Amino acid sequence: MSFTLGKDFLMDIIQKTFPVVPARTSLQVLYNFKITIEAGVITITASDLDNFVRASTTVEGSGEAEIAVNAKKLFEIIREVENGGITLEIENNALHISSDSGFSCQLAGVDLREFPYFPDSGYAETYTISTPVFRGLVEKSSFAVSKDESRASLCGVLWECSLERIGMVATDGHRLGASFAGAENGIPQDISVIVSPKSLQHIQKTAEISGVDAIKYAFNDKHVVFTVDTFTLSTKIIDGPYPDYDKGIPKEFLKTAIIDRDLLHSVVRRVSIFANRKTQLIKLAFSGNSLEVSAANREIIAEGKQTIPALYTGDEVHTVGFNSAYLLEILSIINTPTVEFRMNTQVSAVLVLPVIEEPTSDDVFLIMPLRIFE
């Protein structure tokens, strides 16, 4: 049986599914795409066992066919084929590919029985969230996910849903990112799950590439499933529990400072050149209406510093140390003209917040200071 479609349409669904194909796995079948054609629709499915994705588009041709072929090879082949029509023919467990320009090749299929089942059942109700709101929640939390696989729950993003609001939180113990949107994005029941940041970022990017205004999602006991147009992603919920992050966020502060975000970002980048490569330590010294940012590296006997304006409120000079990479990441995510630092001691958690007159979301960024050894 042969089926035809444009290269652009085939490449689109390959690009949406290929990121889930694992780079390394002991289960060889996961290196493959499952290709299903029926009722004039071609569907490509991929999985790494934690994430399952499928994307569809229409084809010309009648009949049904199914095969699993090496995903990387198919991606490379279709990427290099000239623009125009492509004909796919599945026969004797082989995929034959030919283009209007005269190119042809074939890929051997693998045993379809080994391909994992797509978990798309048991979802009681489907909800919707706007793409811009979802993007904000993901970007303002996922950067702080832990890379320590021994603490599995911290390797995911905590997604909290209720009637009043919806939010995402992540922390690795050194920093925290949290963002919450209002009631119009809430759902009529309390749900709290831990989700892979890879999955959240994948569905966010797919929604933006597809140009859709909203993302559909649903929960069951073990998975969250997202739908964007003809693309579906099901991701396994990470086992919890998640730490009580709210206890680690200070509620009262002795010192505050308001600073121009762009200016602080550029100064921290400049001064961090002189920071120790291992600790990335920079010092922020607040006093009066100024902030001195400095760093020193005793290994190469180098130091740099710069003073900028800051509206500091406190009863004394306050010096605090930060990992410059962590601070820069937070400043890059915040998109307001000014930021506010809320502080207590040299070793207690510091909040870095966007200064917004009429906030559309509740954002919290926390960073733990580094000890300064003079």
Q: What is the pLDDT of residue 372?
A: 84
Q: What is the pLDDT of residue 300?
A: 75
Q: What percent of the chain clears pLDDT 90, i.e. is strictly above it?
A: 82
| Burial of 213 per CB tally in 10 Å (0-12, 13-18, 19+) | exposed
CA distance linking residue 243 with residue 79, whole number of Å: 44
pTM recorded for the entire structure:
0.89
Buried b (16+ CB within 10 A) or exposed e, 60-83: ebeeebebbbbbebbbebbeebee
Reported confidence tier of residue 302, pLDDT bands at 50, 70, 90: confident
For the CA atoms of the chain, what is the radius of gyration?
Answer: 25
Distance of CA 7 to the CA centre of its chain: 28
Q: Is the pLDDT of residue 186 over 80?
A: no
CA distance linking residue 146 with residue 333, whole number of Å: 18
Q: What is the pLDDT of residue 360?
A: 59
pLDDT digits (tens, 9 = 90+) for 94-145: 999 999 999 999 999 999 988 999 987 777 788 999 999 999 999 999 999 9
Domains observed in the chain: 2-114 (3.10.150.10), 126-246 (3.10.150.10), 249-367 (3.10.150.10)
Q: Is the pLDDT of residue 157 over 80?
A: yes
Residues 6 or more apart in contact with residue 121 via CB below 8 angstroms: 220
Q: What is the pLDDT of residue 374?
A: 57
CA distance linking residue 320 with residue 348, whole number of Å: 10
